[in-house]
Amino acid sequence: MPETSLPDTPSAASSGYSGPVTVFIKGITEPAEFTQLPRALQALRESVRALPLDESNRDGIERVLAPSRTEQIAEQLQRTGQVSCAAFIGTDIHLVHIRTGSPRSLPKLTRYRAAVLEPIAPPGPDTTAAS
């Protein structure tokens, strides 16, 4: 997610976090550092648009990352250091992260595997041994 050219505008994050941010979609993109939050959000929106998401999930993520929410995101970054939401691709969950600081300041990223729930089969003969 390289920084794309945007016209230089005053930061919408004037009342919140205004330092470097790192953004990534877990399991899909590598962490990328941006000096301006609006540019980071634009890169995330472009990355999300390229994902095979269902319409309701895409709309929800776009609302979270909307340019009109930049100041709210900056305020949350100031308070908690991160903002996340989930992208569902089939049955896989990929967290969309915005974090304060550079990728070098991130803790080592650990891959977590979501538990897969199996339906409970009605009692009956065991068919797994008949292979």
Reply yes or no on whether the pLDDT at 58 is more than 90. Answer: yes
pTM: 0.68
| 3-state secondary structure (DSSP) of residue 18 | coil
The structure tokens listed for 11 are 């930061």
Above pLDDT 90, what percent of the chain?
60
- 82 forms beta bridges with 99
Strand runs labelled E in 1-131:
21-25, 32-34, 82-89, 92-100
Confidence class for position 105, pLDDT limits 50, 70, 90: low
Mean pLDDT calculated for residue range 39-57: 93
Backbone conformation region of residue 90, classed left if phi is above 0, alpha if psi is from -120 to 50, else beta: left
Q: Measuring CA to CA, which residue among 27, 14, 23 is closest to residue 100?
A: 23
The ranges assigned to domains in the chain are: 30-103
